[in-house]
Structures are given as structure tokens and as C-alpha cells.
Amino acid sequence: MNHFFKVKTLEQVEALADQFSCVSVEKVPITDSFFRILAKDIDATHDIPGFRRATMDGYALHSGSTFGASESNPAWLEVIGSISMGESPSFSIQSGQAAKISTGGMLPDGADSVVMVEHTEVIGGGSAALTGADRDKSAVSYSPTVEIYKSVAPLQNVIDKDEDFKKGDKILKSGTQLRPQEVGLAAALGICELPVYKIPKVGIISTGDEIVPIDEIPQLGKIRDINSYTLAGLITEAGAIPIQYGIIKDNEEALLNACLKALDETDMVLISGGSSVGNRDFTVNVLSSLKDTEILVHGISISPGKPTILAKSGKKPIWGLPGHVVSAMVVFKIVVLPFLRQIQGLSSCKTNDSSILIPAILTKNVASAQGRTDFIRVRFVKQLDINLKYKYQIFAEPILGKSGLIRTMVMADGLLEIGENVEGVERGDLVNIIPLRTLD
């Protein structure tokens, strides 16, 4: 039992994530790649869009032909044709010439900008909307002219041929989660399949003689299995697949067999309720008996969640989580999730990345013991403040309660982290909150 409560700091535990490798890689059709994790860098094989295209309906021309143009002194240009979307112009633009063009149309050679149709007026010779064939037939007798009432700069109202991406650019990096925009970029390159990390499977083992299935009415002294479901939800939310292995009573052999099965079938294992120093908690003994398994952590200087266990079995992480539902959920969010992100292949594994913290003003004093990191459940409150430029100020209201009370998580919108060298925070302090739900 010499592993018990050689407590590590949160930072020391987080540093261990690098010991675990990513899951294996597979290729999937682009239609199945949404929100998967890219497993290989992708370079642009050609310029995007690959040609100069108009962003407005108007006239393609050389910008120099419009310099000085105004309503009182318009530029007069000869219209030599028109260009529709999907067309490759067979003619080029010279100084003093223009071609009618639709949004998305390809600029002809010699044109470097588009003047909006609102800043033009066609005069003389009839309609300017000529096809190439019409232009050839009427080169002498049909010569429409367009007046330009506003000058344009080079590349104004135009997307250049390599403005989105240049050939050879590294456009997607390994470890990127493929949102619709990243998938769209792959489609722009004609990529039909993408290399992605497989979706990790996470095994959940719930332990304890006092735990019964949720479809049973618990006798006095027993409780329904909550953790299997809260953890399954957190795993699903994180983009992994939860696999439940049922309730294991306080029996070392039964727990050992469940661990062996879970390790064989999943990429990470969570044992709920097997991390304290109680006489009937066998998790450490079972983990110690597993082949090629090393206990890395038994005790983290956080509250709730101090008795958390982390072991490395082969290349897989296996966790002993507290049995109290709040402790298990907080430990998953703060400690386990970065490890899950690591094996998923995500390039950013930190849970409390500053980009996702929500600033708020604390409504009550909150005490904290030095030497540990506290995570306090809070509820967001929006209040109108007429002195602010923006209408509402966000406040964080602490939700106090024991770690066995799930209501404190049901009520919570986020977690307030109080560092191990801080004695507490005071009412009115500006604090950063780790969100548990989207802020309305």
C-alpha cells in the first residue's frame, strides 16, 4: 500500500500525459470526417482558388483605366464582351477596355480589378452583355461603352488566384479537429479521403457493494449507479465512445477480470469508486497485479478528487476515480480530459486553456486551503448595469455543497479554480471560470 497518497500537484499529473501515445490512424471518406482529428499534415497541391475571380457583379478591367474617374469626370471604356460564372474568357483586356462579369466569374488576362455595376452606366451601341460570338460578328458596327463613375484599386472586388492558399502552403496540421470549414478546405483541394485518428473507446467500471443498477429500487444503505452515466456523458461530449462494463462488487478477482477485459477492448479505462484508502478498495492491489502496469499517481493535491489514481498499463491509461459523483465529474473534466485529448491526437490538450475561460465577478468570499488547488462550482448570473458600455455584467455565484450531492453539478455553469498557493478569493474579484455549459 506504499503508493497511497504520495500526492502530486495538478501540474505534475498533467505533465504525465506525454507518456501516452495516440490511438491508431484510419482513412475515412470526407463525408465521415466531421469533428474527427486529423492525423497527418496536409499541404496545398495547387493555388486556391487558382484564378482571379470577381466578388461583385460589374465590369472587369485594368485598374489604371479608372484612375481619376468620378461622377463629374467618368472614365469611358469599350465593352468587348461578357463573362459568366464557370466560363474561361478567350479574350484579354487592354487599357481602355472592360468586360461585363458576374460574381464568381474569372477575370480575363489583363484585368486586375472589378468596378461594381452600381458605379457604372452603359451608353451607346446597345447592351454590353455580349457573348464571344456576338463580339466577333459585330466588331466594327457594335461597340458599346460603359461610363465608370468611381476609380478602383488593383485587386479591388477581386479574389486573386492564390489569395486563399498558395501551392505548397501547410493548410491543415495534424491534431486539428475537422470542423465544417476545415472539411470544406479539403474539398477545395479535391481530397476525397482524410487520415484521422480512430475514435478512442473508454471503458467504465463502477465498483462497490453499495451500488445497484438504476432499474432497481435500492435498499437502505445502497445507492443507484450514477457515475456510469455521468462519465459516459462526459466521454461522449469529449468525442470518444463510452463502453460500460457494469457494476463490480468489492471483489479483487472480479475487478481484475473486468480490468483485463476493458483493457483488451478499449483505449482508456475508468474505475469509479476505487481510489480511497478504505479497507474494501482493491483498485491499487488489482492494478499492481496487472502485467506491464505501473502506478504513476495515487493522490492529487486538488479538491474535490484528492484520492485519484493513475496507472499506465502497457500504453494505456487506467484511472481510479473517487466514488462521489461530483468528485468523479470534476476529476474527469480537469484531470482525465487532457489525457483523453492526448490519445485522441488533439494538438491542444489543456482543459483550462485561457481561450475558453469566461471572466466573471465573484458574488461571495470563498476560502481555500493552501497546498491544494480547489475547484468550486459556480452559477452564472447576468445583471443589468447602466454604467457599462455593454448592457450586462456576468457574475459567478458559488454553489457550496458536499461532493456527494449531484445537485451542485446540476446547478453549476462552471468551475472556479483557486490555486494551491492562494488562501481564497473575495467578493468582487474578477475571476476566470472553466465553463461546464455554453453561456447564453
| Tens digit of each residue's pLDDT (9 = 90 or more) over 184-223 | 999 999 999 999 999 999 999 999 999 999 999 999 999 9
Where among 197, 222, 246 does a domain terminate?
A: 197
Is 92 domain-assigned?
A: yes
Burial of 402 (0-12, 13-18, 19+ CB in 10 A): exposed
The domain containing residue 40 runs over which residues?
A: 29-49+163-197
Whether residue 117 is found in the same domain as residue 91 = yes
The pLDDT, as a whole number, for residue 137 is: 43
Whether residue 286 is found in the same domain as residue 177 = no
Whether residue 216 is found in the same domain as residue 324 = yes
Whether residue 64 is found in the same domain as residue 134 = yes
| Tens digit of each residue's pLDDT (9 = 90 or more) over 279-328 | 456 888 899 999 999 999 999 999 999 999 999 999 999 999 999 999 99
C-alpha to C-alpha distance for 36 and 103, rounded to whole angstroms: 34
CB 276 within 8 A of CB 307: yes
Whether residue 92 is found in the same domain as residue 143 = yes
Whether residue 79 is found in the same domain as residue 148 = yes
Where among 106, 137, 159 does a domain terminate?
A: 159
C-alpha to C-alpha distance for 418 and 422, rounded to whole angstroms: 7
Is 104 domain-assigned?
A: yes
CA dihedral (428, 430, 434, 438) in degrees, to 10, reads 80
Q: Look over the chain and give the mean of its residue pLDDT values, rounded to a whole number.
A: 90
Is 225 domain-assigned?
A: yes
The pLDDT, as a whole number, for residue 275 is: 62
Kindly report whether the global pTM for this prediction surpasses the value 0.75.
Answer: yes
Residue 177 DSSP one-character state? B
The pLDDT, as a whole number, for residue 150 is: 95
pLDDT-based confidence at 138, cuts 50/70/90? very low
The x, y and z cell numbers of residue 238, run together, are 469529449
Whether residue 39 is found in the same domain as residue 187 = yes
Neighbours of 218 (CB within 10 A): 14
C-alpha to C-alpha distance for 173 and 192, rounded to whole angstroms: 17
Whether residue 381 is found in the same domain as residue 303 = no
Whether residue 371 is found in the same domain as residue 298 = no
Whether residue 167 is found in the same domain as residue 243 = no
CATH number of the domain residue 109 falls in:
2.170.190.11
CATH number of the domain residue 405 falls in:
2.40.340.10
Whether residue 40 is found in the same domain as residue 171 = yes
Whether residue 150 is found in the same domain as residue 285 = no
**What's the total number of domains in the chain?**
4
CATH number of the domain residue 177 falls in:
3.90.105.10
CATH number of the domain residue 279 falls in:
3.40.980.10
Chain-centroid distance, C-alpha 37: 10
Is 373 domain-assigned?
A: yes
CA dihedral (107, 108, 113, 116) in degrees, to 10, reads -70
Is 5 domain-assigned?
A: no
Is 3 domain-assigned?
A: no
Is 2 domain-assigned?
A: no
Is 130 domain-assigned?
A: yes
pLDDT-based confidence at 278, cuts 50/70/90? low
pLDDT-based confidence at 104, cuts 50/70/90? very high
CB 93 within 8 A of CB 108: yes
Where among 197, 218, 246 does a domain terminate?
A: 197
| Tens digit of each residue's pLDDT (9 = 90 or more) over 411-436 | 999 999 999 989 899 999 999 999 99
